[in-house]
Amino acid sequence: MRAGKSGIIGSLFCPLVDRGNLMPRFYPHPIIAREGWPFILAGLFFSIVFACWLEWWSLPFWLFTLFAIQFFRDPSRPIPQEEDAVLCPADGRIVVVERTIDPYRNTEALKISVFMNVFNVHSQRSPIDGTVTRVEYNKGKFLNAALDKASTENERNAVFATTRTDRELTFVQVAGLVARRIVCYVDSGQRVVRGERYGFIRFGSRVDVYLPTDAVAQVSIGDKVKASSTILARLPLKAPVHNDEPKEIQPAASNRQVVESEAANAQQDEQQMIEAAAEKVRAAAEREAPKE
């Protein structure tokens, strides 16, 4: 894993966004991601060399070159600008939408996971406008990134960030079965702009996003999504206000009060029974009295 800033060109060009057309005016890695050029140039070199000497036997090298071009493509995308929109950080398919615990902040969260296969664009882009507060790298295994346990057992890199209105979220790059390299270009304290490219994973991987529980998911499991252009969730600009004032509690009755109350009730019942019996005796006496 390699961390660092994206350089002068990236820092100058990434934040420049055409707010009217919802499309970046400049993008630091047009068409092909810079991580791919060594693979593409090497494949092209060997393809040409073997084509000159072995003709059709050079076909596997040409196929590798074409695969590298499609894998490392990094196109510019439309960027929604709604303030409450949390954008998808990667291309792929939604594999998790659930309420769970954010293992990095140890708090309840809405988790949304995007799985990328080898045919997806593998650059990661910031889902929000905000500030990176911390970057945490964890070594781990290389399980199939589509599995739930990959989120906690695989090699991963977590970016802690806050929005402009101080809402906290975590987005995590997770290595996959074939992916053996996670690249992250942001550091603690760095400002990011939605749609700005902040990392890359190769080959086949996953990105987990942990949001506050009042966020509302805009995607479902199985949906195909695109980085920057798909709205992943809606996050209210302000956190809900919780009324933590203790409610007035009526003191419980003491044992003595309970005993006295039960005794009074029993005495009242007994008095009613005596009066009822006396009434029956008077009624019987009246019936037996001689008539004039």
Indicate the domain borders of the chain.
Answer: 25-76, 82-234
Confidence at residue 21, expressed as pLDDT on a 0 to 100 scale: 33
User: Residue 205 catalytic?
Assistant: yes
Lowest model confidence (mean pLDDT) among 26-30, 143-147, 194-198: 26-30
Average pLDDT in the chain: 76
Query: Rounded CA gap, 229 and 125, in Å?
Result: 10
Confidence at residue 43, expressed as pLDDT on a 0 to 100 scale: 85
Contact 101, 212 (CB under 8 A): no
Confidence at residue 5, expressed as pLDDT on a 0 to 100 scale: 36
Contact 2, 183 (CB under 8 A): yes
Confidence at residue 107, expressed as pLDDT on a 0 to 100 scale: 93
Confidence at residue 230, expressed as pLDDT on a 0 to 100 scale: 94
Catalytic, out of 205, 220, 228, 261: 205
CATH class, range 82-234: mainly beta
| Most confident region among 18-32, 50-64, 84-98, 245-259 by mean pLDDT | 84-98
Task: Report the pLDDT averaged over residues 67-82.
Answer: 83
Which residues lie below 8 Å from residue 46, measured CB to CB, with a gap of 6+? 58, 61
Task: Report the pLDDT averaged over residues 257-283.
Answer: 58
pLDDT at 18 over 50: no
Task: Report the pLDDT averaged over residues 150-167.
Answer: 89
DSSP 181: E
Task: Report the pLDDT averaged over residues 134-158.
Answer: 81
pLDDT at 134 over 90: yes
